[in-house]
Structure 1
């Protein structure tokens, strides 16, 4: 930062206690510029962006190969000041509360540039940070001056998509059965029938497991339960997998020649990330493993896919019903300027592969896994087919009354705790690359 520009920052206002945003929410904030003397600006902009990126390295003898890839969900830039108008149009300019353009020359002191974005109504992957990749949503401001290095600042915000609990595939119960004949040090047999009430669960919900266990062996056995996560990262036709046990619990021993019905409820930690199936380069899955601990023998086990949905939260920044993506001016007191110009049609240009293919994630098109999806991870390009409906072109009317009163003070990138921080994932088991047809699901 040069001596002329003392500081530049971007802050936003929290709308709930969790400091999260979801589809269609209005995100209001301010760009704050502090200059030591009169300054001529070529441009001052604010950009909202959502993207995913992965990167890891693999060693082959003395050779190290770096694998990386990126996926952009959306990006939109608006200008408070822009001297060069040869590119773009006037609708990209954010005006001051009186409806006039901001001046390109600013006097010494502190200057505040308010803004309001509306997040798109489409379901995008939630904020996520893993060992080899991340999904982040950011606000970034940039100040450009002649023959000077650009001054930049950014702040991350935590995005969680709306859950789709009515998806029939998520409400369907799951069944599994397994039996095993004992050999060598143990005689007889054991069998188990396992049932779960459904497939999809909220992050703060209990997972009920119903088990019918028959112990016809010569030794006591013990049921064990494990909920674990599986992170898959894709780049250049390669896949890297990290698995991690989230919780482990054991049941009471079942004596020999005994049949027993058991009900076990596992509490899902609310700090976990929701399942991610609609990102091309990052996939987050969860599985439930139930096994019988048989002494001196291999343990029979059953696995079920578990889809974790974001917790139900009520957002506090809702405006008029709108299926697209807009920005308006906002005064520094929290009230909105009603005469702000709408955004330009076709802002996003050529549509990309933003959405899943029809039916890929169930009837709702978001979270439900397709039949057989959990049995084979498939190639990297499987998870985002061209289901996006087209460029975003309609925006909320200029009479938008502004978001409701702020529930919390503005959050700064220098003052807030990282809003997208998730619990660290240590003790990962790192597997080398194995062709998909030989890797267990």
Structure 2
């Protein structure tokens, strides 16, 4: 950062206590610019974007190969200031409250440039960070000046997909049966019939397992339960898999030559990442493993897929006001993420955005506009839905066939 440009930052305003966003939500914020003296600006912009990327390396003898891939969901850029308007017809400009362009010469002091986007209506995968891959959503402010290194600031926000009603395949019971003949140090046989109420569960919900075990072996056995996560990353025809046990529990012992039916309830931890099944380059899946701990023998086991769903956060009276219908003449107080001290030299005259009769600039399919308002006021004036997305990947019991990735030259 140069002596002239003291600071540039981008912040956004929460709309609920969980500080999460979902499809169709408005996300408003401000780019804050502090300059020490009159500054000529070439461009000042804000971008909203969502993407997934994976990257890892593998060593083969003396050779190291890097595998990487990306998947972009959306990227929308809007300009507050743009000197070169040669291609202005395809550059969306954000104006001040009076509808006039912002000046490219910025006076000393602090300047606040407000913005609003609307998240697309498509069903995107949730925010996620894994060992070699991630899914991120965020905002980026960028300042460019002639013959100077550009200045940037980023702010990530947490996205959760809109929770549609689970389909019948997620609500159907699951069944599994396993028989095993003992050998060597343990004689006889064991069998188990396992069923769960459904496949889809919300965070914090109880996963009920019903186990019917017939122990015809010569030893006492014990049923055990393990819920684990499986992260799969795909790039250039390769796949890397990481698994991690989330919780493990065990049932009461079942004596030799006896039969027992037991019920076990496993609590889904509220901190888990929801299942990611609609991303081409990474997947987050969960499995329930039920097995019998048999002494001196391999353990018979049954695995069930588990899909973790996330309920939408309720908009309470303090935060829900941010998602008022378009044209609503309601102005909330900025949550704590907004600037606390009143900025000086705020760009644009004081005023309100969204009162009845104010036409405002048109919103595109992402809801981007160039309104300006004093801190603590918000009110987008129109809405246009983005095209619907194809349904998410539904085959929860198998991996998708990997596409033929082009080889890098």
| TM-score, length of structure 1 as denominator length | 0.78
Matches of 2:187 and 2:232 in 1, distance apart?
Answer: 40
Residue aligned with 2:157, SS: strand
Alpha-carbon deviation of 1:146?
A: 1.0
Quote the residue 1:296 is aligned against.
296
Deviations 1:127-185 (A, max 9, x none): 10000110100100001111111111110101010123331111111000001111221
Deviations 1:344-390 (A, max 9, x none): x99xxxx9xx955xxxxxxxx236x32xx5234421579xxxxxxxx
Alpha-carbon deviation of 1:18?
A: 1.4
Matches of 1:122 and 1:381 in 2, distance apart?
Answer: 26
CA contact (8 A) 1:10 1:29 kept: yes
Alpha-carbon deviation of 1:14?
A: 1.2
Alpha-carbon deviation of 1:68?
A: 0.7
Q: Which residue, out of 333, 357, 366, partners 1:325? A: 366
Alpha-carbon deviation of 1:270?
A: 1.2
Residue aligned with 1:374, SS: coil
Judged with a 3 Å threshold, the aligned counterparts in structure 2 of structure 1 residues 205 and 323 are, in CA distance, closer, same or farther, namely farther
Matches of 2:210 and 2:404 in 1, distance apart?
Answer: 37
Quote the residue 1:56 is aligned against.
56
CA contact (8 A) 1:254 1:260 kept: yes
Quote the residue 1:93 is aligned against.
93
Matches of 1:334 and 1:66 in 2, distance apart?
Answer: 47
Judged with a 3 Å threshold, the aligned counterparts in structure 2 of structure 1 residues 194 and 250 are, in CA distance, closer, same or farther, namely same
CA contact (8 A) 1:12 1:27 kept: yes
Question: Rg bigger for which structure?
Answer: 2
Superposition pairs of residues 230-379 of structure 1, within 5 angstroms: 230-315=230-315, 316=320, 317-320=322-325, 324-328=365-369, 329-336=371-378, 355-356=389-390, 365-366=391-392, 369-370=394-395, 373-379=396-402
CA contact (8 A) 1:280 1:381 kept: no
Matches of 1:127 and 1:375 in 2, distance apart?
Answer: 23
Alpha-carbon deviation of 1:90?
A: 7.8
Count how many residue pairs are aligned between Structure 1 and Structure 2.
363
CA contact (8 A) 1:4 1:36 kept: yes
Quote the residue 2:17 is aligned against.
17
Matches of 2:157 and 2:310 in 1, distance apart?
Answer: 16
Matches of 2:177 and 2:165 in 1, distance apart?
Answer: 27
CA contact (8 A) 1:331 1:337 kept: no
Q: What RMSD over aligned residues (CA atoms) do the two structures have, in Å?
A: 2.4
Which of 319-328 and 260-269 deviates more?
A: 319-328
Judged with a 3 Å threshold, the aligned counterparts in structure 2 of structure 1 residues 90 and 300 are, in CA distance, closer, same or farther, namely closer
Judged with a 3 Å threshold, the aligned counterparts in structure 2 of structure 1 residues 337 and 273 are, in CA distance, closer, same or farther, namely closer
Superposition pairs of residues 27-426 of structure 1, within 5 angstroms: 27-89=27-89, 92-315=92-315, 316=320, 317-320=322-325, 324-328=365-369, 329-336=371-378, 355-356=389-390, 365-366=391-392, 369-370=394-395, 373-380=396-403
Judged with a 3 Å threshold, the aligned counterparts in structure 2 of structure 1 residues 299 and 323 are, in CA distance, closer, same or farther, namely farther
Judged with a 3 Å threshold, the aligned counterparts in structure 2 of structure 1 residues 221 and 89 are, in CA distance, closer, same or farther, namely same
Residue aligned with 1:163, SS: coil
Deviations 1:383-422 (A, max 9, x none): xxxxxxxxxxxxxxxxxxxxxxxxxxxxxxxxxxxxxxxx
CA contact (8 A) 1:99 1:339 kept: no
Quote the residue 2:349 is aligned against.
none
Quote the residue 2:355 is aligned against.
none
CA contact (8 A) 1:174 1:195 kept: yes
Alpha-carbon deviation of 1:338?
A: 6.0
Stretches of structure 1 that go unaligned for 5 or more consecutive residues are: 357-364, 383-441
Quote the residue 2:334 is aligned against.
none
Judged with a 3 Å threshold, the aligned counterparts in structure 2 of structure 1 residues 201 and 71 are, in CA distance, closer, same or farther, namely same
Judged with a 3 Å threshold, the aligned counterparts in structure 2 of structure 1 residues 169 and 100 are, in CA distance, closer, same or farther, namely same
Judged with a 3 Å threshold, the aligned counterparts in structure 2 of structure 1 residues 128 and 380 are, in CA distance, closer, same or farther, namely farther
